[in-house]
Every structure is written in C-alpha cells, then in structure tokens.
Amino acid sequence: MTSIGLTPSLRMTYASPIEAELTRLSEDLGHCPDLVARYPMRWLAIQLLEGDALLQAEVERLGGSVASEALAASRMRLETHYGEDLDVAMVDQRYRFVHDLAAQALTRPKTPSLTMSDRVDRIVTNRWLGIPIFLGLMWVVFKLTTDVAAPFVDWIDAVLTGPVSHWIISLLSITGLSGGWLESLLIDGVIAGVGGVLVFIPVLFSLYFALAILEDSGYMARSAFVMDRLMHRLGLHGKSFLPMIVGFGCSVPAIYATRTLENERDRILTGLLVPFMSCSARLPVYVLVAAIFFPTMAGLVIFGLYLTGILVAIGLGILLKHTLFGNELPTPFVIELPPYRLPTLRNIWQQMWERTAAFLQHAWTIILGTSMLIWLLLALPVSGEGGFAETDVDQSAFAAVSGVVTPVFAPLGFGSWETSGALLTGFVAKEVVVSTMIQVYNVPGEEEEEAVATTFGEDLLAIGGSFVSATSDALKAIPSIIGINLAAEEDEQAPDGLTGAIRQGFDASSGGHGALAALAFLVFVLLYTPCMVAVAAARQEFGSRWMWVSIIGQFVIAWLAALIVFQGGRFFL
C-alpha cells in the first residue's frame, strides 16, 4: 500500500529463476537488523545480484560472512541460467517491462511527427547538400574573420605603434633611458613582436564568435556528421573527423581527442592527419600575408587554405590507409546531433573569452619569450661594424642562423633569411611567424621622425575616435559577406614600411614572383608542424617514433606542396 492508500496494479516481476533468488536472498539478508534498518530488502537484493560493488562491501561489513555466502550462493545458482551476464539479463527485463507498460498506456502516432530539428536536418545533413552547406558556412566564417575584423586590426596596430610606443619612449626619456638598448628591446622586441601578434585579436575573436555560434546552435555536430559520412565512403575511419573539428581551434586538444578512437592504428593515423587542419594560431599569418599580396581576395585565399588542409588530410588518409595502415573496415559509431537552438549570448561570450584568453596566455609566455630571444639575436652583430642593438639586421646573429636553412626554401620562392627565420621560429608556435616577420622586416618609418608631438589627452581622444571609425567600417563590411559593398572604394594606397619590406623581400627571393612565393609560403605554414606543444602531445599519445614520422612527414608534404604551388604557378603564369 502506498501512503495515499493506492496499490500499484502492476508489479515488476523478473523471470522465475531470478524472482526465486531475490526472495531467498531478501530473506537471508533480513536476518541482519543493521541492513533491515538501512535498506529495503528486495531493492538491496536486486542491486547485489547486479553486482553493485559498494553495496556488496557494505553488506560484508554489516552482515558478515553469512550475508556474503548467501549472495555468492544465489549468484552461483543463477549463473547456470544466465552465465556471466546476470546483470544484463536483469536490466534487460526491466527495460522490457517498462517498454510493454508504455506500449499499453501510451498511444503513439504510427509515424512520429517531424520536429523543427528533423526538418532542418533533412536539408543540412542531406547526402548532396550537406557538404556545399558546410563549405558555404566556412566561407562566411572566413569573410567575417577577414573583412569584418580588418578595421579593428588596423585600429589596434595604429594604437600600439602610435600612442603606446610614444608613451613608452616618453617614459624612458623621463627616466633617462631612451635611445639605448632598452628602448630597442621594448619597441623592436616587445611591441613589434608581441604587439604584432596582439593586433590579430579581432581576427581570432571573430573566428571564435563564428565557431561559438556554429557549436552552440548545434550545427557543428552536423558538419562532423556530414564529413564523417564522406570519409567513411572514402574508406577512412569516419570518426577521424571529430578530432579534426577540434583541430580548427587548436591542434593540441585535437591530438588528445584521438583517444576516442578504439583501434591504435586509427588513433595514430588520425593523429598524423589532425595537424593538417588549420588551427586558429595560423590565421594571423594568413591574414598578414594575404592582406599584403591578395588584398581584394584575402577571404578567398584563407578559405582556400582551410580547404587545402582538409583535402590534404583526406588524401593522405586514403594513401596511408591503403599502405602503412592496412585496409580494415571502419568501425561504425553513433553521433549525437543535439536539437537546434538559438545560441545564447552567455555561451557565445564564454567561449570567445576562454579561447581568446588561451591565446593571450600564449602571447605573454611563449610569444614574449621568443620575441625577446629574436630581438637579442637580431641585436647581436656577427659581421659589419655596428655594435650591440645598433647593427643592421642582415648582419645579425639571427640572419646568420636563419641563413643556414635558406637554401632549403629557395626552390619554393621564399629563400630569404627573413622568411627562413620566421619559419624556424614558427616551430615554437605559429603566431611567432608573424611576430618574427614584423621584427625582421621592421624598417624604421620616416613618419616616426616626422611625428607631431601630442599630449596624453589628445592620444586618448584619437584612440577613441579611431575606434568609432573602425566600428563603423566593420559594420559596413558585414554586407560584403554576401557580396554587397557599402564601403567607399579606396584609392590604392602606397604600401607602408612593413608591407613594402615584405613585398620586396618576397619579390627578391622569387625572381619577381612575389605573390606566388607568398602563396607557397602560406601553403607551407598551413602544412608544416603546428607548434612544439603539438609535437609534445604527439609524443605523449603515440610515442617518439610516430612523433618524428609526423614532424618529418609534415615537413616533406609542406615542402612538396609549396614547391608545386610556386614552380607550378611559374610554369602556368
């Protein structure tokens, strides 16, 4: 009887052998007052027969050997009926009971009505439309990260190289430390290096904003589902694309995400492919170089790079699957497609902030350390007449060290010590490619000498004014995602010091094919080792041998792909 006087008309009954043992075990356990006081006897007997280890320990403690022996005897008798799977049988019988009960009590439509998510999924995960929709959304993401974020990139750059640099110089002159190596370290090392990377925060913020919307709305799981299906058809382990999705953000968790694959071969294979997915740290390099060499189609170039990464990963996967990794059939799996929902501002902000914070943490540790080391190597003269922090950069220790590997990159069109040095330091982290390029190509601008002295208040006003202007430009750029250009056409501007120096550098190293060399450089950055932390993760997950296979393999593929782009491009152009 229940407390309100109703007796359930249905009682869950197990198969007779189980019921018999439940009754017997309940009676045996009922001789122990401590157990009776704490637990309903039938419930306790069910849990014990299903193998609840915690309750078994409790029963041994309170009921002693009599209770333990009674349990062991019941189990032994049931094993003759159910073998080792007694718990499976008991749970299965409960599911059957509930299922039958629900079938009697509920009237369901023969064809369940389609939810909104089902309707959208019919289009989004459609066999033919799924991949074009995925590519279309990627296109929107990269237009957002290039066109809409660009005004804010220019704004931060102007603030760091203008007012912030002036404030530092003014502070140093007040303390009598201006004009020396300390000023060079702060301006040419910290501001040029770390600041050069920090200007790309709006780009990453836009990328993380777009990714957060795709994830929070439920689309990201669909994109993985669609790509999985494609990979499965190509004979690859479809589940490999799940870690790859993470690789768009960062290669390190993507490598750890391969743990979800059961087969070690699949895990290693996916671990070798994941670094080809373009991580967010590479984006600043793309934006910097694409904005210089392909200003009118930067979004298209970046989109093409992301697509190239996916295609190289799939192509290499097929090759390895049919050679080194055997040709086993992929394991089927279930993927959860959460219902579509409107992304919440709170979730979007949390993801944007956490991911940007991870980037900032990187900036203040690895990038700052590397920038200072590069500054030191650039300040050390190895030839010429200049002293410490006064030497020409091409006579510095950094130029000498980088020059050693320059011949390797010469056939790719970017065989200069500047780009070689940037790629070398890029092994530490991809953002460092940008900071190194800004440091090595940093030409003292004439405008610095002609700069009009301003007060602190005027600087603040100018910063505020330029922010409003950047916001207005960014808003005007939003319709450009769908091809509507609201921004006034600008006259082609003369390149500033850095842009001009980078252009000249690539032109000189490529025999006048600067744009082609820049594209080959971007392809190389896309395909070679993401960063030293990813290398450490690969070593931890797959061992030293596969770590070296990964590093060397990525380098060879990056080199060959860049060679094809540069030499192939020269042949056709």
Partner 1 sequence: MLQKVLQALEETQGPVSLDELSRQLELDVGVLEGMIDFWVRKGKLKDSRLAACAGGCGNCNPGAQGCTFDRGRPRSITLT
**Chain residues that interact with partner 1, rule: CB under 8 A:** 87-88, 91-92, 95-96, 98-99, 112, 118, 121, 125, 211, 215, 220-221, 224-225, 228-229, 232-233, 238-239, 242-243, 245-246, 249-250, 252-254, 256-257, 259-262, 330-337, 351, 354-355, 357-358, 361-362, 531, 533, 536-537
Pairwise CA distance, residues 68 & 467, whole Å: 75
φ, ψ for residue 84 (rounded to 5)? -80, -10
Nearest approach in angstroms of CB 289 to partner 1 is: 24
Q: Which is nearer to partner 1, 246 or 272 (CB)?
A: 246
Q: CB nearer to partner 1: give 93 or 184.
A: 93
Nearer of residues 110 and 452 to partner 1, judged by Cβ: 110
Give the shortest CB-309-to-partner 1 separation in angstroms: 16
Closest distance of CB 112 from partner 1, Å: 8
Nearer to partner 1, 23 or 350 (CB): 350
* Distance, CA of 368 to CA of 198 (rounded, Å): 11
Query: What letter would DSSP give residue 279?
Result: -
Q: Which is nearer to partner 1, 157 or 216 (CB)?
A: 216
State which amino acid sits at residue 468.
Answer: V
Closest CB to partner 1 among residues 321, 355: 355
Which residue(s) pair with 396 in the sheet?
381
Residue among 493, 494, 475, 492 nearest 484 (CA): 475
Q: Both ends of the chain: CA-CA distance in Å?
A: 89
Residue whose tokens read 């990525």: 554
In whole angstroms, give the CA distance from residue 280 to residue 250: 6
Count CB atoms within 10 A of the CB of residue 251.
31
Q: Tokens 């050997």 label which residue?
A: 65
Q: Which residue lies nearer to partner 1 by CB, 255 or 561? A: 255
Structure tokens at 102: 């629900």
Least separation, in Å, of the C-beta of 280 and partner 1? 9
For partner 1, give the closer residue by CB, 126 or 472.
126
- What crossing angle do the helices spanning 514-527 and 544-572 adopt, rounded to 10°? 160
CB of residue 98 to partner 1, shortest distance in Å: 8
Smallest separation (angstroms) from partner 1 to the CB of 145: 16
CB of 247 to partner 1, least distance (A): 9
Q: What would the two tokens of residue 264 be?
A: 């070690």
User: What is the distance between the alpha carbons of residues 38 and 56, in angstroms, rounded to a whole number?
Assistant: 14
Backbone φ, ψ for residue 525 (5° rounding): -60, -40
CA distance 348 to 211: 9
Q: Supply the minimum distance, in Å, between the C-beta of residue 103 and partner 1.
A: 10
Structure tokens at 537: 């993760």
